[in-house]
């Protein structure tokens, strides 16, 4: 599907306007916070792919191993001629494990907020799977109300991997599941990847890799604001700050000011005190029973689930 240049340019302007509004509102709030979705510009998406290759970051390889082992069973549960709808598709690496098993797909619909990254991914998939219909949707999946008409009456199978649901507050996660249930329709299903609770040290190491790639990922948000919002963040004056809150059951990620300073963003000036943090992301971890309860509150139920031998990660088939 070729996107007209005018439509693409208009979409990019709308994306930038939304970015500006949300950043200015987030920096004016108390406590300060910027939505995690803005971490994923083209460079941020590439850095996240690099994070997934770090030895400390177990979720990607563990989930991929589960999918590799159980893709045929997932394909059987999905049935023939379905449409695979991926939320937050990124580079669609794990999706290929399902595409290889679901050989008679009606269509693949990747949804992602990063327009450039999504278009590149769709182009690669069309080249690698010439018989597959690929209909990308550039959108915030939390605000998506419709899927392409080309899906027709095919059964809709959602795919939400990477424990991305952990980036949502529990109430937001329930809201996402309810919206997914409506979009996927009564006969649909959702393949959901969820990071399980484990030792605080394992979790701390996963989000503070020795190579510093996660730190680059967090600070790339400042770089993006400099580029798109005419901000003047000095990246050397801020640090990545990630820790596990065991009571809340979540990793909490911020960028932290290393000194007292004033930064201009979008024509406005913001004062940062030394040690002040701006929240960028949560990553909730769940126990198996909590996954079932989350699904129930979202109007779904766990039909099947799989985990790895060390019980680090879970993949669930929700109906």
Q: Which SS3 state, helix, strand or coil, does residue 71 take?
A: helix
* DSSP label at residue 235: G
Q: Is 58-198+286-318 in CATH node 1.10.10.10?
A: no
Strands 137-138 and 107-112: parallel
Q: How many CA atoms lie within 13 A of 39 on its CB side?
A: 25
C-alpha gyration radius of the chain: 20
Q: What are phi and psi of 160, to 5 degrees?
A: -130, 80
Q: Find all residues with CB under 8 Å of 168, minimum gap 6, and list them.
A: 142, 176, 282, 284
Residuewise pLDDT in 10s, the chain (319 residues): 444 444 567 777 888 999 999 999 999 999 999 999 999 898 998 999 899 999 999 999 999 999 999 999 999 999 999 999 999 876 677 999 999 999 999 999 999 887 887 888 899 999 999 999 999 999 888 889 899 999 999 999 999 999 999 999 999 999 999 999 999 999 999 999 999 999 999 999 999 999 999 999 999 999 999 999 999 999 999 999 999 999 999 999 999 999 999 999 999 999 999 999 999 999 999 999 999 999 999 999 999 999 999 999 999 999 9
The ranges assigned to domains in the chain are 58-198+286-318
Q: Which SS3 state, helix, strand or coil, does residue 264 take?
A: strand
pTM, two decimal places: 0.91
Which H or E element spans position 256?
strand 250-257
Q: Which SS3 state, helix, strand or coil, does residue 79 take?
A: coil
* DSSP label at residue 94: T
Give the closest residue to 36 by CA, choosing from 252, 205, 281, 293.
281
């Amino acid at each position: 599907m070729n996107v007209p240049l005018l439509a693409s340019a208009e979409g990019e302007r709308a994306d930038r306007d939304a970015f500006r509004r949300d950043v200015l509102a987030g920096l004016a709030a108390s406590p300060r916070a910027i939505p995690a979705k803005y971490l994923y510009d083209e460079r941020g998406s590439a850095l996240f792919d690099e994070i997934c290759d770090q030895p400390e970051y177990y979720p990607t390889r563990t989930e991929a191993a589960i999918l590799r082992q159980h893709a045929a069973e997932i394909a059987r549960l999905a049935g023939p001629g379905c449409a695979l709808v991926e939320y937050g598709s990124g580079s669609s690496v794990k999706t290929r494990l399902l595409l290889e098993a679901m050989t008679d797909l009606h269509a693949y619909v990747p949804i992602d907020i990063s327009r450039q990254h999504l278009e590149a991914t769709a182009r690669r998939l069309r080249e690698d799977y010439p018989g597959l219909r690929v209909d990308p949707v550039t959108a915030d999946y939390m605000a998506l109300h419709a899927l392409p008409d080309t899906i027709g009456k095919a059964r809709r199978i959602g795919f939400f991997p990477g424990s991305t649901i952990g980036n949502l507050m529990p109430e937001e996660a329930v809201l996402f599941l309810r919206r997914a249930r409506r979009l996927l329709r009564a006969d649909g299903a959702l393949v959901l990847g969820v990071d399980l609770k484990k030792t605080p040290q394992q979790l701390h190491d996963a989000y503070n890799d020795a190579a510093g790639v996660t730190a680059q990922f967090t600070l790339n948000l400042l770089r993006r604001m400099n580029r798109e919002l005419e901000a003047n963040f000095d990246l050397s004056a801020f640090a990545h700050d990630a820790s596990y809150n065991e009571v809340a059951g979540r990793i909490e990620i911020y960028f932290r000011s290393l000194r007292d300073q004033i930064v201009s963003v979008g024509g406005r000036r913001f004062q940062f005190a030394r040690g002040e943090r701006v929240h960028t992301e949560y990553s909730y971890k769940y126990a198996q029973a909590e996954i079932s309860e989350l699904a129930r509150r979202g109007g779904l139920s766990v039909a099947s689930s799989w985990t790895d031998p060390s019980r680090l990660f879970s993949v669930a088939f929700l109906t």
